[in-house]
Structure 1
């Protein structure tokens, strides 16, 4: 595995742990388990300013290479296997579990809700829906050798993000206006990565952390803004945060930790399964053990949301039929 892949897995690991924590914390809060509301709100907003933009950025890194190797149609068909298929499957699985256990969960969901997933993504699965939309759009717009069009599209995507509240959001166009800029940023980073000499440099990483911390402090505490305040400042904050995570990952990968790389490589499995695992732990802690300590819920819930999907991911690598949980079997049959 190349160093490039290693640092990407590190970034995915950092991002997915933040995703799991964010959903576990929100579950604890919505279950009325006593939390320090001020701290919870601040940390929640801090995490949500960049953790999903980070994943769109990382998804953009390999887009041009895949487009050049596969071409438009094969690339889109592969994303039907690896994005649309798990989106549909796990929306139904998680939705079915929530419907059955609705008396124990924070969300009361009717079975009819599951019929809307083709046009109205539910729960955390909005990311897969949005990512596929962006892959299709980018596959139509770009070719593997055109740089000027990418720069123009990046400029347009910045404007779409800044003025998204003034633009129509019908047909889920908000997914594009809110996230395309980060995907194209990933494309551009991959194209011009040689212009970033600070990669892996500890001094650059420390400097990036200081800028990250100061920016988050100003945004949240000085300007009293939160992650929902979309505009120039939130875009700048997300980009600063992504740069910090990238530099941190490139520094940490100098002495890679195997289990952390596993978490990164299993990020899709974790994304698909963590709500079931984290919520399940919360329900057990409250209803069987009557535990209401928020710290216990946050720690155990986050660990369960990471470890259980990693175990499933591990078994899926050894038992072929389990692979069908995460990607369509049709692509493997065609390869054979």
Structure 2
């Protein structure tokens, strides 16, 4: 029997990838020296979205770890992660660094030949790629813990809590942990996703998650905590707007979880209405957008500013997000059409004719 498609997960990933591009487009505009002082509201939204955007990615990924391990076993699970996360991480990371070196006069990044080594131990230095490396490492450690040491989700949450507080203490002490810091920081969110997977995916509970009442119940607390997150970070700008995350860690977890709950409730509600279909299409292509969007954004920004002479910040933001989403999806579809899926995945070519949305579900960053 063919499983029922869970489009809510695509809606959630679609929302998350839009928020990722919002930040990267805006930061790119600022780093290009374009004045943004008149548009404080854009910066404020940028700060607020930071409260739950990346935890959402890890929670969503954790929701599917149990079913993936049951389906593939530990060996198959690890093999899939190498093919669908680690491989594009290195391929696109190397490609992006190379282009930034070649086009150093036109891009914001300051790269050297040693930047390639950053992929191994300091991936945060290479723009967006830290997330893929962190997700791969967290997924592998979590899967080994579950399959080999039989760790239950509750135990993993406790382990994740300890690791999380170690990461915040290290940050407060200016102790650089490289890629290890990201593992310590986000393991708890992956564990939380696994803990709630059965409740979230259980068919009997779907009517509750799809209800507008749940969305309404979360609405006020969500915006209240977002306001608090914004105000506290604005009061402590010297922390890089990370004050709540690293100096109020318990509160940050609560704010992040509330933000994730709101997005998931919204995703279930959109699934019920079958609304905004392009949003779940974006979600089903989120990995491909993620690995390539920085290259696309740089090209779009240079063309719009240097060729068209447009420096209006809101317009740059809208065009950057729109084209940063559209072009990677079109590029991925073209790659599939010309038998070049190896640009994104090492999955066997025998699957090349499968619908890309379904195929992506089987091998995406949320598995």
TM-score, length-scaled by structure 2: 0.84
Query: Given the alignment, which residue of 179, 183, 202 partners 2:190?
Result: 183
Q: Distance in 2 between matches of 1:184 and 1:169?
A: 24
RMSD: 2.4
The aligned counterpart of 2:213 is 203
The aligned counterpart of 1:166 is 169
Unaligned runs of 5+ in 2: 353-367
The aligned counterpart of 1:22 is 23
Q: Distance in 1 between matches of 2:183 and 2:176?
A: 9
Moved more, 58-67 or 6-15: 58-67
Q: Distance in 1 between matches of 2:148 and 2:15?
A: 29
How far 1:144 moved relative to its partner? 9.9
Residue-by-residue CA offset, 1:242-268 (whole Å, 9 max, x unaligned):
000000000011122332221111101
Matches within 5 A, 1:219-298: 219-221=229-231, 224=235, 226-229=241-244, 230=246, 231-256=249-274, 257-298=276-317
Moved more, 167-176 or 50-59: 167-176
Residue-by-residue CA offset, 1:197-225 (whole Å, 9 max, x unaligned):
73011011022122110111122226746
The aligned counterpart of 2:7 is 6
TM-score, length-scaled by structure 1: 0.91
The aligned counterpart of 1:315 is 334
For the Cα contact (< 8 Å) 1:46–1:216, is it kept in 2? yes
Cα gap change, 1:310 to 1:41, in 2 (>3 Å): same
Cα gap change, 1:104 to 1:240, in 2 (>3 Å): same
For the Cα contact (< 8 Å) 2:32–2:108, is it kept in 1? yes
For the Cα contact (< 8 Å) 2:83–2:346, is it kept in 1? yes
Residue-by-residue CA offset, 1:144-202 (whole Å, 9 max, x unaligned):
996x7220110221232234232475362211121111111111111333596730110
Cα gap change, 1:38 to 1:258, in 2 (>3 Å): closer
Moved more, 125-134 or 190-199: 190-199
Cα gap change, 1:4 to 1:227, in 2 (>3 Å): farther
Q: Distance in 2 between matches of 1:3 and 1:252?
A: 16
Q: Distance in 2 between matches of 1:145 and 1:236?
A: 29
Residue-by-residue CA offset, 1:48-74 (whole Å, 9 max, x unaligned):
111111111111111111111211122
Q: Distance in 1 between matches of 2:267 and 2:148?
A: 27
The aligned counterpart of 1:59 is 61
The aligned counterpart of 2:113 is 111
Q: Distance in 1 between matches of 2:280 and 2:223?
A: 25
Query: Given the alignment, which residue of 80, 91, 94 partners 2:96?
Result: 94
The aligned counterpart of 1:214 is 224
Cα gap change, 1:171 to 1:260, in 2 (>3 Å): closer
